[in-house]
Amino acid sequence: MSLVSLRRLEKHYGDQVVLERLNAEVNEGEFVSIVGASGCGKTTFLNMMLGIEPPSRGALLLDGKPIPQEPGADRGVVFQRYSVFPHLTSLENVMLGTEFTQARWLGRVWGSARRDIAAQALAMLQQVGLGQAADKYPHQLSGGMQQRLALAQALTKKPRILLLDEPFGALDPGIRRDMHQLITDLWRQHRLTIFMITHDLKEGFSLGSRLWVFDKIRHDPQAPDRWGASITYDIPLDRKSTGLERQLDDIVYPRQDVA
Ligand SMILES: Nc1ncnc2c1ncn2[C@@H]1O[C@H](COP(=O)(O)OP(=O)(O)OP(=O)(O)O)[C@@H](O)[C@H]1O
């Protein structure tokens, strides 16, 4: 059975149709890169995966059942910025998720249980290359280090699915390269299924095992909100760029004519 199924999935906000006719099956371990023009509904899709936006029509299934309508430990998320808490150290940020989960059953976590959580969090920080920065606050970390911390925080609850919303969009090219290597390593080590939004088509092609393009099939110039975006291309990748990249670049980001 597929891990995630989209069956005639739609999302509307009032009269605005944002997404329509989304159909796809995603297996465990896939890395789906998602590209599409600004405002076409990529984050909306991720929000449905996270469980903070309900589908308007159709079905979004996890293991064959409707995806729970609340964020859960099985789905981690990293945004472009501000995924971590500024008033907590790196270690405390990573410990937080597990503490919350255990506190639900045990009340506040103390003693050896807390020490175990701290040891796990430190191991996670070491995995993302932040072992030396455990006591630092987010504002004392570079942008790349903050995103490493956000990844550690997202992974500490051992999610099956990792949702990434332009996680490297604000980083310099050199740092982005390091992050690409890191996310590839984490994807493999943790056997994750990843959905990653990116505006960088090259990044989408080079990181994903599959690429989705969100675009509108139907347009009504008099009523632009009448139709929503669908998955217009669903391309299996062997993680190599192909000539398709140039072609898709023109479709997803059409060049504006300059008068
Ligand atoms: N909570 C909401 N209420 C009403 N409209 C919303 C809401 N969330 C998103 N939208 C609308 O849905 C459309 C798609 O937004 P979304 O953020 O998903 O696009 P996107 O493809 O992620 O854009 P970008 O690439 O610029 O981040 C936009 O027109 C947006 O205004």
The predicted-structure confidence for 136-173, as pLDDT tens digits, reads as follows 999 999 999 999 999 999 999 899 999 999 999 889 88
Residue type, 225: D
Closest CA to 152 of 94, 199, 210, 227: 94
Tell me what pLDDT residue 1 has: 86
- Does 79 map to a domain? no
For ligand 1, pick from 18, 215, 226 the residue to mutate: most ligand atoms within 8 Å of CB: 18
Whether residues 147 and 183 share a domain: the answer is no
Residue 35: CB atoms within 10 A of its CB come to 27
Whether residues 64 and 28 share a domain: the answer is yes
Whether residues 176 and 98 share a domain: the answer is no
Whether residues 54 and 140 share a domain: the answer is no
Could you tell me the end-to-end alpha-carbon distance of the chain, in angstroms, rounded to an integer? 53
How do residues 212-242 score in pLDDT, each as one tens digit? 999 998 887 787 788 899 999 999 997 654 5
Tell me what pLDDT residue 258 has: 44
Residue 233 CA to ligand 1 center (angstroms) comes to: 20
With a 6 Å cutoff on the Cβ, whether 164 touches ligand 1 is: no
Tell me what pLDDT residue 98 has: 77
Tell me what pLDDT residue 115 has: 86
Whether residues 167 and 244 share a domain: the answer is yes
Tell me what pLDDT residue 127 has: 93
Helix ranges restricted to H, 168-243: 173-189, 201-207
For ligand 1, pick from 11, 12, 13, 33 the residue to mutate: most ligand atoms within 8 Å of CB: 13
Q: How far is CA 239 from CA 30, 110, 180, 183, 205, in A?
A: 12, 45, 12, 14, 6
Instruction: Report the distance separating Cα 115 and Cα 242, nearest Å.
Output: 49
Work out which ligand 1 atom sits closest to the CA atom of 46.
Answer: 18
Whether residues 135 and 217 share a domain: the answer is no
Instruction: Report the distance separating Cα 45 and Cα 16, nearest Å.
Output: 15
Transcribe 85-110 into DSSP letters.
Answer: -TTS-HHHHHHHHHHHHHHHHHSS--
Instruction: Report the distance separating Cα 100 and Cα 86, nearest Å.
Output: 17
Complex ipTM: 0.97
pTM for the full predicted model: 0.89
Encode the chain (259 residues) as per-residue pLDDT tens digits. Answer: 899 999 999 999 999 999 999 999 999 999 999 999 999 999 999 999 999 999 999 999 999 999 998 888 899 999 888 778 999 999 999 998 777 666 555 566 667 777 889 999 999 999 999 999 999 999 999 999 999 999 999 999 899 999 999 999 889 888 999 999 999 999 999 999 999 999 999 999 999 999 999 999 888 778 778 889 999 999 999 765 455 665 666 666 665 554 3
With a 6 Å cutoff on the Cβ, whether 80 touches ligand 1 is: no
Instruction: Report the distance separating Cα 24 and Cα 214, nearest Å.
Output: 12
Residue numbers of the domain that contains 97:
86-158
Residue 105 CA to ligand 1 center (angstroms) comes to: 36
Contact 94, 121 (CB under 8 A): yes
Residue 14 CA to ligand 1 center (angstroms) comes to: 13
Supply the CATH number for residue 223's domain.
3.40.50.300
Instruction: Report the distance separating Cα 250 and Cα 244, nearest Å.
Output: 10
With a 6 Å cutoff on the Cβ, whether 112 touches ligand 1 is: no
